[in-house]
Amino acid sequence: QKHLDLKITLPMRGAQLSFNVAMACAIFCHEIAKQRGR
């Protein structure tokens, strides 16, 4: 982890399944758009 520029975590309810990078990015972008009101 000492080589990371930024670490982002996505809180998940229920089953603790991991997402691949593409899915995590899609969720992250959706949440940003939702919070900006788009």
> Tokens representing 30?
């959706």
Q: How far apart are CA 27 and CA 32, in angstroms?
A: 9
pTM of the model: 0.50
Contact 10, 28 (CB under 8 A): yes
Residue 11's pLDDT is what? Answer: 75
Written as one letter, the residue type at 26 is A
Task: Identify the DSSP state of 8.
Answer: -
Residue-number span of the structural domain to which 32 is assigned? 1-38
The pLDDT tens digits for 19-38 are 677 888 898 899 889 999 86
Helix/strand/coil for 33: helix
Residue 14's pLDDT is what? Answer: 65
Number of domains in the chain: 1
Confidence band, pLDDT 50/70/90 cuts, at residue 1: low
